[in-house]
Amino acid sequence: MKTLLVVYQSTTGATEQMARAIVRGASAEAQVRVRLLRADEAVAADVIDADAYVFATPENLAAIAGLMKDFFDRTYYPALDLINGRAYAAVVCAGSDGANAVRQIERIATGWRLRAVAPPMIVCTHAQTKAEILAVKVLGAADLQRGEELGATIAAGLAIGAF
Domain ranges for the chain: 2-159
Q: What is the CATH number of domain 2-159?
A: 3.40.50.360
Print pLDDT tens along the chain (163 aa).
999 999 999 999 999 999 999 999 999 999 999 999 999 999 999 999 999 999 999 999 999 999 999 999 999 999 999 999 999 999 999 998 999 999 999 999 999 999 999 999 999 999 999 998 889 999 999 999 999 999 999 999 999 999 9
* Paired residues of 34 in beta bridges: 4
Nearest to 96 by CA among 56, 133, 67, 131: 133
**What is the C-alpha to C-alpha distance for residues 148 and 70, in angstroms, rounded to an integer?**
26
* Cβ atoms of 5 and 53 closer than 8 Å: yes
- The backbone region for 157, taken as left when phi is positive above 0, alpha when psi lies in -120 to 50, beta otherwise, is alpha
Per-residue pLDDT at 133? 87
